[in-house]
Structure 1
């Protein structure tokens, strides 16, 4: 096979991309994701809402089933010895946001129940006036999560070493280059950014680059094959 040439995001483009790059799930986020998946496995939301009788108004049925789904979530939270939230409304928003954010960069996972989650949130939007609480919140992005850092964030996103520091490594040499770039960035920005914030930003951008490479690699490889094995002016070539 032809080796794929490494491709890096252009310097400076991360300042704009940060508005759309989802934040990598934290340890607590992954606990909530596990909780959400188990709750969706138990819920029969789509079975009951999609198969309803004329004797019951569909909006009422949607509200009843959403209440039941949220009750399952809160019950599982207590059963799994997680600390019960003081504000359930915002907690539900966070749980559902984690599920949506995870799916964005992991499209091959969370397949069985993600459709059910989408139906729930779409229906919740239809009846939100009667539901009396909101289940949807904006996706956490690098910009929305770390924007309060101000100029130190801007300096990091414009750093010339950043593309190397978040580029997926496919071999030992690339891993060493990435590690060296990360160490250099930590030395440059460590006095202005907390380690957790710096690692969170770098990990989120790296996960995004892995996702983008995974999506674009088939087309890139096919283009390389066409350029290497075929000629636009010689029909016998290839």
Structure 2
């Protein structure tokens, strides 16, 4: 049941990307969800970063996003879907640490 809900959510996100950028059809057409895992990871990271920077916005939506990501992080779900859709939030501190600055 969780997998079906995640697949539906990812399909909606893919459809929104296609509606905004028609040239992205080649990124979606004929591909599995796992093939676009990096893109989904980036989308979720942007949402999480937005919430960090604007704590007074997305009150109910953010909670729903967190529940979705918690479900997506379950080992059984990751194994079934063939990818991990969760990444760390990119911060300035993490970027500076990566650059040894």
Deviation at 1:136, TM superposition (A): 0.5
Name the structure 1 match of 2:31: none
Gaps of 5+ in 1: 1-60, 155-238
> Is 2:87 the partner of 1:137?
yes
Deviation at 1:105, TM superposition (A): 2.4
Deviation at 1:81, TM superposition (A): 2.0
Any residues of structure 2 matched to 1:1-238 within 5 Å, and which?
Answer: 61-81=1-21, 83-84=23-24, 86=27, 87-126=35-74, 127-150=77-100, 154=101
- Structure 1 residues 95, 83: closer, same or farther in 2, change over 3 A? farther
Gaps of 5+ in 2: 28-34
Please list the CA deviations of residues 12-38 of structure 1 after superposition, one character each: whole Å capped at 9, or x if unmatched. xxxxxxxxxxxxxxxxxxxxxxxxxxx
Q: TM-score, normalised by structure 1?
A: 0.35
Name the structure 2 match of 1:169: none
Please list the CA deviations of residues 38-80 of structure 1 after superposition, one character each: whole Å capped at 9, or x if unmatched. xxxxxxxxxxxxxxxxxxxxxxx10011011001001110101
Deviation at 1:107, TM superposition (A): 1.2
Give the Cα separation in 2 of the matches to 1:63 and 1:92.
15
Count of residue pairs the alignment pairs up: 91
Please list the CA deviations of residues 199-237 of structure 1 after superposition, one character each: whole Å capped at 9, or x if unmatched. xxxxxxxxxxxxxxxxxxxxxxxxxxxxxxxxxxxxxxx
- Structure 1 residues 88, 104: closer, same or farther in 2, change over 3 A? same
Please list the CA deviations of residues 175-204 of structure 1 after superposition, one character each: whole Å capped at 9, or x if unmatched. xxxxxxxxxxxxxxxxxxxxxxxxxxxxxx
Give the Cα separation in 2 of the matches to 1:72 and 1:137.
20
Give the Cα separation in 1 of the matches to 2:36 and 2:95.
21
RMSD over aligned CA atoms reads 2.0
Structure with more helix by fraction: 2
Counterpart of 1:69 in 2: which secondary structure?
helix
Give the Cα separation in 1 of the matches to 2:6 and 2:47.
16
Give the Cα separation in 2 of the matches to 1:82 and 1:134.
26
